[in-house]
C-alpha cells in the first residue's frame, strides 16, 4: 500500500494564525495523535535557526501543532542537538538562549526547550544498527528517552546532502555531536590554493582545528578533519571544495541509516511535517538571512519520512517546471538518501498525495 502524504498549500503571506491552523490540519490528517497516551513524552524535533538566520520555522506557526498534541499527550518538549561546529548552538546554554531569542519561549508556545544531547553534546545513547554503514548509532539521549517524535523540518538545500528535510532532520538532527562526526567523517574537503585569500575565516570556524596556514594559504590536515563541511559554507572566495566522488553518497546513506535508527525506536509514534516556506539554498545553520530560491508552496505531512521528502521534492519540481534549485545550488545529488532510505526500510518513494483544503 502506498504511503500517504498530506499536503496543504500555504505561504508566509497567510500570516502566523492561518499557518498554525494549516500545520495542525496536516498533523491531524496523519493520525499521529491516535497513538499517544497522556503519560507519553513527545519530542518536537526542530532546528531553532543559527543566530541571524531568518528562514527557520517560526514558533507562532506551531501553536496549532502544540495544541493538537497536548490534547492527547501534554508532556511535550521542543528539542535539537548541539552542533559539531563551533557557534551559538554548540552548547546547551547558548543553544537555549538562541532558541529564546528566536521566539521559542514559554510565553509563545508554553513548551520547554531541552537540548537532547546535554550540556556540551556528550549525553549520548547507542542504538544498534544492521545496515551497510552504521553498526551502532550515537544518538542524543533525550531523543531516545522520548516516547513519540514529530520532525518539524524547514526544507532547504545543503552543501553535502543536497536536500535538507525530514530525513536530514531525523538522521543528523537527532544524532549527538559524535554521531554527526560519524556521518561526516568520510568526506574531507580540499583547498584550491590559487583561490585562497588567506582571510582566516575558515580557521575560526573549524571545530577540529584542522585548518592551518601554510605558505600564506589555508591547508587542511586530513588526520584532524572531521568532514563537517563548515569551511565550505563560510569561505567567501570559493576556495574550499568537497572531494565529492562517492563521498556524497556515503554521507547520505549514513544519514538515512541514522534516520532509520530513529524511526525504528519510535515505530508508528513518529510523524514528519515539512514546511516548504522560504526554501533556501543553504540550511538554517547559516547565520544570515537567506533569500528564497523558489516561491512558498505549503506544508507536507506523513508518517513516512521517505515519502514526505519525495513528495516535497516533487512539489518543488512541479512549481519550477522541472528545474532543480537544489542541484543548481551545489550540484549534490540528493536522491541517494531517498533511494537508500527505501532500501533499508526507512520508507517508500511511492506515495499517494492527499490534498487538504
Question: Could you give the CA distance from residue 297 to residue 168 in angstroms, rounded to a whole number?
Answer: 20
233 and 346 within one domain: no
Phi, psi angles (nearest 5°) of residue 41: -95, 125
N residues, the chain: 357
Report the greatest alpha carbon distance in the chain.
Answer: 63
For the cut 80, the answer to whether the pLDDT of residue 188 exceeds it is no
Question: Could you give the CA distance from residue 176 to residue 187 in angstroms, rounded to a whole number?
Answer: 18
For the cut 60, the answer to whether the pLDDT of residue 12 exceeds it is yes
Q: What pLDDT, in 10s, does the model give residues 229-256?
A: 678 768 889 898 866 444 889 999 999 9
218 and 160 within one domain: no
For the cut 70, the answer to whether the pLDDT of residue 210 exceeds it is yes
323 and 289 within one domain: yes
Question: Could you give the CA distance from residue 177 to residue 234 in angstroms, rounded to a whole number?
Answer: 20
206 and 81 within one domain: no
215 and 113 within one domain: no
Phi, psi angles (nearest 5°) of residue 201: -65, -40
Task: Outline where 84-139 has alpha helix (H).
Answer: 92-101, 106-109
CATH number for the domain that contains residue 209 = 3.30.70.20
For residue 155, the enclosing domain spans 3-182+249-355
Contact 300, 276 (CB under 8 A): yes
Nine-digit cell string for 131: 545496515
Confidence at 92, pLDDT banded by 50, 70, 90: very high
Domain count, the chain: 2
Nine-digit cell string for 19: 499557518
Q: What pLDDT, in 10s, does the model give residues 115-162?
A: 999 998 889 999 999 999 999 999 999 999 999 999 999 999 998 899
Q: Quote the pLDDT of residue 178.
A: 81
214 and 108 within one domain: no
Phi, psi angles (nearest 5°) of residue 113: -105, 125
CATH number for the domain that contains residue 267 = 3.40.50
148 and 112 within one domain: yes
Which of 242, 258, 274 terminates a domain? The answer is 242
The pTM (predicted TM-score) of the whole model is 0.86
Q: Give the residue carrying C-alpha cell 588526520.
A: 223
213 and 142 within one domain: no
Q: What pLDDT, in 10s, does the model give residues 32-49?
A: 999 999 999 999 999 999
326 and 286 within one domain: yes
81 and 64 within one domain: yes
β-pairing verdict for 351-355 and 189-191 = unpaired
Q: 3-state DSSP helix/strand/coil percent for the chain, to nearest 5?
A: 35, 25, 40
295 and 230 within one domain: no
Confidence at 225, pLDDT banded by 50, 70, 90: confident
Question: Could you give the CA distance from residue 98 to residue 62 in angstroms, rounded to a whole number?
Answer: 18
Q: Any idea what DSSP says for residue 294?
A: B
Amino acid at each position: 500500500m502506498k504511503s500517504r502524504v498530506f499536503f496543504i498549500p500555504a505561504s508566509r503571506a497567510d500570516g502566523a494564525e492561518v499557518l498554525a491552523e494549516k500545520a495542525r490540519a496536516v498533523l491531524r490528517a496523519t493520525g499521529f495523535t491516535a497513538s499517544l497516551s497522556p503519560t507519553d513524552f513527545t519530542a518536537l524535533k526542530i532546528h531553532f535557526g543559527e543566530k541571524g538566520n531568518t528562514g527557520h520555522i517560526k514558533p507562532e506557526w506551531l501553536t496549532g501543532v502544540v495544541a493538537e498534541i497536548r490534547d492527547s499527550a501534554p508532556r511535550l518538549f521542543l528539542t535539537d542537538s548541539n552542533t559539531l561546529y563551533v557557534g551559538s548552538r554548540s552548547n546547551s546554554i547558548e543553544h537555549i538562549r538562541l532558541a529564546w531569542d528566536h521566539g521559542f519561549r514559554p510565553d509563545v508556545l508554553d513548551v520547554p526547550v531541552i537540548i537532547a544531547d546535554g550540556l556540551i553534546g556528550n549525553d549520548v545513547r547507542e542504538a544498534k544498527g544492521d545496515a551497510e554503514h552504521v553498526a551502532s548509532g550515537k544518538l542524543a539521549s533525550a531523543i531516545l528517552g522520548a516516547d513519540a517524535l514529530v520532525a518539524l523540518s524547514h526544507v532547504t538545500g545543503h552543501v553535502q546532502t543536497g536536500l535538507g528535510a525530514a530525513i536530514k532532520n531525523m538522521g543528523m538532527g537527532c544524532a549527538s555531536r559524535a554521531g554527526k562526526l560519524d556521518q561526516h567523517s568520510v568526506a574531507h574537503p580540499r583547498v584550491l590554493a590559487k583561490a585562497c585569500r588567506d582571510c582566516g575565516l575558515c580557521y575560526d570556524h573549524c571545530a577540529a582545528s584542522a585548518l592551518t596556514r601554510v605558505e600564506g594559504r589555508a591547508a587542511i590536515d586530513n588526520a584532524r578533519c572531521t568532514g563537517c563541511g563548515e569551511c565550505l559554507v563560510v569561505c567567501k572566495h570559493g576556495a574550499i571544495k568537497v572531494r565529492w566522488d562517492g563521498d556524497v553518497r556515503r554521507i547520505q546513506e549514513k544519514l538515512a541509516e541514522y534516520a532509520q535508527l530513529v524511526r525504528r525506536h519510535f515505530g508508528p509514534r513518529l510523524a514528519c511535517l515539512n514546511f516548504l516556506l522560504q526554501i533556501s539554498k543553504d540550511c538554517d545553520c547559516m547565520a544570515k538571512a537567506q533569500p528564497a530560491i523558489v516561491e512558498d508552496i505549503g506544508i507536507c505531512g506523513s508518517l513516512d519520512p521517505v515519502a514526505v521528502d519525495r513528495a516535497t521534492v516533487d512539489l518543488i519540481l512541479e512549481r519550477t517546471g522541472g528545474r532543480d534549485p537544489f542541484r543548481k545550488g551545489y550540484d549534490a545529488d540528493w536522491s541517494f538518501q531517498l533511494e537508500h532510505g527505501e532500501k533499508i526500510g526507512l520508507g517508500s518513494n511511492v506515495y499517494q498525495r492527499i490534498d487538504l483544503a
